[in-house]
């Protein structure tokens, strides 16, 4: 099974240089991984949450955004929820994590785990 390469006309996904650097470093440690998946799950008090997963085998409904040599996989059904998103990787105190800046999010829960899209 192969994934279709998606050239976004109306959907855009971006990553900061820090996020690209982090993902490349992790991919170097995982030669079986082809890229990273940005997934959306129903969860939390606001409705949805982000999940990232390493992609070893693309799925037929994946769309691929190649950002500075890093492939970001997003399922077709999630595209409207992530349009315009910027993926960052930040360090806060002793914790490092992905931070998602989604212009479509109309609300977030207090802990920051879940979000709503109108």
Give 38: exposed, middle or buried? Use CB within 10 Å, 0-12, 13-18, 19+: buried
* Residue pLDDT, tens place only, 10-53: 788 999 999 999 999 999 999 999 999 999 888 767 688 889 99
Q: Give me the phi and psi of 87, to 5 degrees please.
A: -100, 125
* Residue pLDDT, tens place only, 2-21: 444 444 457 889 999 999 99
Q: Where are the beta strands (DSSP E) in the chain?
A: 4-5, 13-15, 35-43, 47-55, 62-67, 70-75, 85-92, 95-101, 105-108, 115-117
Could you tell me the domains of the chain?
13-116 (2.60.300.12)
Segment among 13-22, 24-33, 87-96, 103-112 with least mean pLDDT: 103-112
Contact in structure between 18 and 68 (CB atoms under 8 Å): no
**48 DSSP β-pair partners:** 42, 115
């Amino acid at each position: 099974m192969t994934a279709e390469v998606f050239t976004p006309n109306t959907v855009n996904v971006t990553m900061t240089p820090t996020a690209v650097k982090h993902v490349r470093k992790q991919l170097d440690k995982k030669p079986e991984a082809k890229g990273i998946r940005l997934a959306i799950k129903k969860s939390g008090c606001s409705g949805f949450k982000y999940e990232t997963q390493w992609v070893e085998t693309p799925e037929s409904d994946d769309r691929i955004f190649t950002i500075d040599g890093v492939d970001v996989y997003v399922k077709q059904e999630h595209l409207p929820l992530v349009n315009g998103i910027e993926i960052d990787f930040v360090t806060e105190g002793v914790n490092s994590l992905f931070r998602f800046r989604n212009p479509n999010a109309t609300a977030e829960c207090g802990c920051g785990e879940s979000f709503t899209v109108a």
